[in-house]
Amino acid sequence: MILLLALFACGSDDPCAGRRDLSSSPAGLDLTAEEHPEGWGRQDCFQCHQRWTIHTTTCMEGVELDTAAFEVSDEASCVACHGANGVAAWAPAEDE
C-alpha cells in the first residue's frame, strides 16, 4: 500500500512537465532528428503522443495560443506546424 501511494505521489500537476518549449529550438516548431531522436522518421506519432493531450495547453513561455483551434485528426496533420519528422512521404514536394 505504501509503495502504491509513493508511486502516485510522483506525478506532476504541471501540464507542461516533460514537454519542451519548441520556440527555443533553432529549428523553431519543426522537429529535428537531434531533438526528437526516439520518434524521428516514424509516422505513428500517437504511439507516444496521446491525441487527447495534444494542444490542451500552451507550453511556450510568453506565447498565448487558442488551443481549441487545433484539429489533430491524424498524424499527418502535425506536419503543417512541426515539419515532416524525417518521413519522406510527409516532406513537401520539391519545386520543379
3-54: pLDDT as tens digits: 444 444 445 567 676 666 667 788 888 889 998 899 999 999 888 888 777 7
Q: Which three cell numbers stand for residue 63?
A: 506565447
The domain locations on the chain are 28-90
Query: Measured at the alpha carbon of residue 16, what is the angle toward residues 67 and 38, in degrees to the nearest 5?
Result: 100
User: What pLDDT is recorded for position 87?
Assistant: 94
Lowest-confidence pick of 26-35, 68-77, 80-89:
68-77
